[in-house]
Amino acid sequence: MYQSSKSEAIEVILNDEASRGISKDVQITIDRKKCNFSMYDPTGCQKCLRICPVNVFATRPIEKRNFSIPPKERIDPTVWILLPTWADWCNGCGACVQSCPKGAITIQIGKKSIAPPS
């Protein structure tokens, strides 16, 4: 699976290994093999999503919803993915990397690397 979307400022790349948000000065990578994000499963994680002070992280369903079908007849996708969609808002605070229980996030911001302890 490969999917990307591009604006003038940010490129968001998703594949089976990782989701990445890339802007001019910042690259944020979420290792999807390590991350146990879940939108609905209470045992899943949303720590980075909740802790980031500038809302870098966003979620979306893995399949596009068909809004032409009336809501009562539509079966919405249940699998959602986590993306560092707004990478260029990152201030390098490191809170997401420190709070991630799976060591799934790495950040390059300018010349500074923020990585989980090895």
Q: Does residue number 86 form part of the binding site for ligand SF4 (CB under 6 A)?
A: no
Size of the site for ligand SF4 (CB under 6 A): 29
Q: Does residue number 48 form part of the binding site for ligand SF4 (CB under 6 A)?
A: yes
- 96 sits in which H/E element: helix 95-99
Cα–Cα distance, 33 to 16 (Å, whole number): 8
Closer Cβ to ligand SF4, 70 or 117, answer by number: 117
Q: Does residue number 81 form part of the binding site for ligand SF4 (CB under 6 A)?
A: no
Compute how many other C-beta atoms are within 10 angstroms of the C-beta atom of residue 29.
20
Q: Phi and psi dihedrals of 20, rounded to 5?
A: -135, 140
> What residue has token string 């500038």?
54
Cα–Cα distance, 115 to 104 (Å, whole number): 9
Closest approach of ligand SF4 to the CB of residue 3, in Å: 18
Q: Binding segment for ligand SF4 among 1-9, 10-18, 71-79, 90-98 (CB under 6 A)?
A: 90-98
Kindly tell me which residue out of 12, 81, 96, 106 binds ligand SF4, with binding defined by CB under 6 A: 96
